[in-house]
Amino acid sequence: MSTVSFSVLIVDDDPAFRRLASRIVDALGLQVVGEVGTFAAAVDAAAELRPVAALVDVGLPDGDGITLAAQLAALPWRPRVVLTSSDPDVVTDEAAQQIGATGFVPKSELTDGTLQRMLAGS
């Protein structure tokens, strides 16, 4: 019998950051099931892949990552959504939580343990 992995969708318009985030998430022992660069692609990927969690950049070329986070967090299976940005002041943890996200982690702090706690709840 196989074990179901903890699946994560990464949403960011920068392909280099998606690769970096994927490596970070993999190193945390979580499985990246998709990497997309737009709001629209994230909606489609979430519906298809049904990830347990998503790491979502605040700035996307075709929409607002905060709006996307709220939409993803409201899906029937209630994935954990963590917002991120290179601007550490773009949103607060409290504001992220008010829209249904688990919280906010600046891109510069993705490797400090906070990301794992927010994505996996550990």
* Residue in the structure block whose two tokens are 């489609």: 44
Residues 60, 43 contacting (CB under 8 angstroms): no
Contacts of 29 (CB under 8 A, 6+ apart): 6
* Phi-psi category of residue 89: left, alpha or beta, with phi > 0 → left and psi -120 to 50 → alpha: alpha
Q: What is the mean pLDDT of the segment spanning 91-101?
A: 94
* Phi-psi category of residue 78: left, alpha or beta, with phi > 0 → left and psi -120 to 50 → alpha: left
Q: What's the fold here for domain 7-120? A: Rossmann fold (3.40.50)
Tell me the per-residue pLDDT of 1-53, one tens digit each, with 9 for 90 and over.
Answer: 334 468 999 999 999 999 999 999 999 899 999 999 999 999 999 999 999 99
Banded pLDDT at 121 (limits 50, 70, 90)? confident
List the domain boundaries for the chain. Answer: 7-120
User: Is a pLDDT exceeding 90 seen at residue 120?
Assistant: no
User: Residue 105 and residue 114: Cα distance in Å, rounded?
Assistant: 7
Question: Percent of the chain at pLDDT above 90?
Answer: 82
